[in-house]
Amino acid sequence: MDRKPIGLVFPGQGTQKAGMGGPWRETPSWELVGEISEVTGEDLRELLLDTPDEHLRRTDLAQLAVFTVAVVAYAEAVRRDALGGPVAAVAGHSLGEYAALTAAGALTLPAAAALVAERGRAMRAAAEQHPGTMGVLVAAPLEEVDGLVGRIRADGAELWVANVNAPGQTVVSGSAEGVDRIEAEAPAIGAKLIRLQVGGAFHSPYMAPAAERLRIALKNTAFAPVHLPVVANADAGVYRGDCDWPALATRQLTSPVLWEPGVRALTGPLGCRRLVEIGPGKALAGLIRRITPDTEVVSLNSPAALG
């Protein structure tokens, strides 16, 4: 195998589905599920094997499920030497940033699991306090979306850009009125809005109560002073431990996930020649192919995919 420098990428909420732990149940790395259950107070075995889709849409449960499968898949890939090259850097999409920080050595698994549990509960509470929704705009440049969002907000509807995912794919977040408005006006910029089945207006100011609650948990968590390079969602900056992760992770809840510039950081200055998606689904691989079509990308989303 040509062992090119690789970047590891970890998916976020929205990739969960019923029975998602089943393929991993017979692997040695499945033992991590018990460790995460003990730390978080949730029965992750039941969550990953027997919980129906409608319950997995609850943001706190979805986040724990996706995080757990991602770290089990990563541990199993390392055990089998299936990554395919030396790891140059890591990144994760929204929730996936916590699996990335774990893989980078910035957080221990128990610390990361505890933060994911607190993050999910805080975001659920904030969404109940201030209900909102999200949608993805396809087929329009970011500049056009940004301009339309700004005009709608100036007219009094609460709406923000939440994810800069890829060329022609931007997620917006805000009030039901704001998302209704941009759905109606999207054709004016050649776009179409697809509504997302989510529990709140994530990555927007609606998450301010969750950010404050998470900030306290982050401040009480030990981050390693040196770790593998991690590309942060909040600013697409590259950090090796010389940073304030509590501030970056807190900011992530209320500001856009800069995924497209983050991928460009991985494949540009960080020199990743292959990107390896680890965890459920193939959503990130699809985005990466739109961002940088010449970059090799593979999805290790099942034991069979580990070869």
Condensed to tens digits (0 to 9), the pLDDT of residues 144-162 reads 999 999 999 999 999 999 9
Query: Distance (Å, rounded) from C-alpha 203 to C-alpha 252?
Result: 7
Backbone angles phi, psi at 281, to 5 degrees: 80, -170
Query: Distance (Å, rounded) from C-alpha 277 to C-alpha 103?
Result: 12
Closest CA to 134 of 80, 46, 66, 207: 207
> In one letter, which amino acid is 184?
A
Query: What end-to-end distance do the CA atoms of the chain give, in Å?
Result: 12
Q: b or e along 104-116 (b: 16 or more beta carbons within 10 Å of the residue's beta carbon)?
A: bebbbbebbbbbb
pLDDT at residue 1, rounded to an integer: 47
pLDDT at residue 3, rounded to an integer: 77
Residue 53's H or E segment, with its range, is helix 53-56
Check if the beta carbon of residue 207 is closer than 8 Å to that of residue 126.
yes
Closest CA to 113 of 126, 101, 127: 101
Backbone angles phi, psi at 5, to 5 degrees: -60, 130
Question: What DSSP designation does 257 have?
Answer: B
Check if the beta carbon of residue 169 is closer than 8 Å to that of residue 263.
no
Residue listed under structure tokens 């549990």 = 117
Global pTM? 0.96
Check if the beta carbon of residue 141 is closer than 8 Å to that of residue 168.
yes
pLDDT at residue 194, rounded to an integer: 97
Check if the beta carbon of residue 66 is closer than 8 Å to that of residue 12.
yes
pLDDT, tens digit, for every residue of 17-74?
999 999 999 999 999 999 999 999 999 999 999 999 999 999 999 999 999 999 999 9
Query: Distance (Å, rounded) from C-alpha 177 to C-alpha 87?
Result: 44
- List the structure tokens of 68: 């757990």
pLDDT at residue 199, rounded to an integer: 87
Query: Distance (Å, rounded) from C-alpha 182 to C-alpha 131?
Result: 17
Low-confidence ranges of the chain (pLDDT < 50): 1
Query: Distance (Å, rounded) from C-alpha 102 to C-alpha 100?
Result: 5
pLDDT at residue 2, rounded to an integer: 62
Measured N-to-C along each axis, helices 208-219 and 109-129 cross at an angle, to the nearest 10 degrees, of: 160
